[in-house]
Chain A
Amino acid sequence: MDRIYMDNAATTAIAPEALAAMLPCFGQVYGNASSIHSTGRDARKLVEEARRKIADALGAKPGEIYFTSGGSESDNWAIKGAAFANRRKGNHIITSSIEHHAVLHTCQWLEKQGFEVTYLPVDEYGMVRTEDVEKAITDQTILISIMAANNEIGTIQPVAEIGKIAKAHKIIFHCDAVQAVGAVPVNVDSWNVDMLSLSGHKFHGPKGVGALYIRSGVKVEPFLHGGAQERGKRASTENVPGIVGMAAALEKAVNNLEENGIRLTYLRDKLIKGILENIPYTRLNGHPLQRLPGNVNVSILYVEGEALLLRLDLAGIAASSGSACTSGSLDPSHVLLAIGLPHEVAHGSLRLSLSDVNTEEEVDEVLKVLPRIVSTLRSMSPMYDDFLQGKNLTAK
């Protein structure tokens, strides 16, 4: 069997349609989209067509879409840009404790610049409580930033309700929708968002390109200073192939959204059920229902995540984990700790993320291979011995 790729939350394979749309941009359409001559105008035409497609996918106007280098830049720009543009109104920002580091580290940096940030806790499923958002608002609050769906555990947040609260208080609402766009329906009006981040390579588009939606009238400082690209808000010559590829990928994803959602939800639930039923001492992380169609995240007790990933890789399966060893620090994933998992349970987490390239045969193969690997690792684990003998999880 070919290699099985179940790390689609990290990145996806490029869609053939996206690649086909990009290729001319490396050849005949090589112009600078800001040039006045027809070589430039040909490129401009493609960029504007892509902008319209992205806007359509989000229920936005083309003039509200700004192209960026990816999800991290979109998050950085939205949060810093709105914070600095509105600092005369207040200095308080509300976000959640399970945001992506592109949001969390940006907020932590803003704290050093004199802003105050509230990091809302989440419930055991990784859900932000809307009443917590309401309670955290002060007369100084200028920005709320909550993700649409979590990248690790797949939990989908009550974004529309949070948007309603933000709107009622006239507070700018930014949503990091990097994992949601192309996976679940997104609409900037029904969600009441003022800014929304997305990234091309998460939905079978190219890497190095993303977009930020900014609602007309919302005040945001420019992020990159220089030329007049992106209506003077984001300098830098347009990444024409990236923009075109991202738009083609998103158009395809949105056209197949319902069908793919049903298929992936079935595969996801088969994986979850198979793991929980066939491997003892496992638990599902994240919400059982309010979760991304392609996200599986389980904790497998008494095994360590990195060892699990390496063994899976040797068996031809690509997956991900929230263990400390994969994060490059001594602490496991901040998301798994925020939903209340003890460190030792977080270390044994496994994320399998699906996309439309995955098949049921692959799911069956993973369900065949995974129990064997877990059993091998547990047979080597002193923690498992101690557990079987009724001792505490933790050694001295």
Chain B
Amino acid sequence: MTTYSTMEMMIVAAARELEDGKSVAVGTGAPCAAAMLAQKTHAPNLVIFFEAGGVAPILPQMPISVGDSRTTWRAVMASGMADIMETCQRGMVDYCFLGGAQIDPYGNLNSTSIGDWQKPKVRFPGSGGANDFASFAWKVMVITPQDARRFVPKVDFITTPGYLDGPGARERAGLPEGGGPHRVITNMAVLGFDPATRRMRVESVHRGRTLAEVQQNCGFELPAAPQVGETPPPTPEELEILRTQVDPLRYIIGR
């Protein structure tokens, strides 16, 4: 039996969500590894965008910054931030990957601060490009470890929109129609959103975890989708590519 780490499971699960011929805006870390893995397996025609201007690079190794020169290695274009964000705003970017310090049942994310905003207990970087991507991309994906402190009923600050406070709220606020969170990939499960309520639910549970464990490690009620199965574990081929071609220096999978 093949052994693999939790991070490897998360990257593989994320990669499988990316369809061939679509486009994805990624940051550094696990999302970038997922996009690279998808490109080297089932989605060779996946177009990768970096917010600072890199378009469709053939990534030689993991970038450390979304603006470093790896993001334009053998790319088709070295562009700028407004162009990339406007490509998203025009509707040409299918997926984006985000993270955050807190996430709520509607997939709203906080990466700004904990406590009072003016004099915070903890300050984080803020939106960066996250709010922009989550406003514009068709499907928002989140990769994050899961526990009850991070998965909270109400985030301290909505940095980045999920479904806000329920069905239709994005459109009422004026955000482009048809977008919103699609998957939340954690160390325990793949989570999705109920189309009727727009609330988070469990889609599949990673091998070695139980549904009860997934639900306990969450600060709000986390129902199961009608059919909850096991997240298919990484195949030997996926692991081989991930370890030898995507992240040979173990920047991400070594975490």
Tell whether A and B belong to one assembly. no
Chain A interface residues (CB < 8 Å from chain B): none
Chain B interface residues (CB < 8 Å from chain A): none
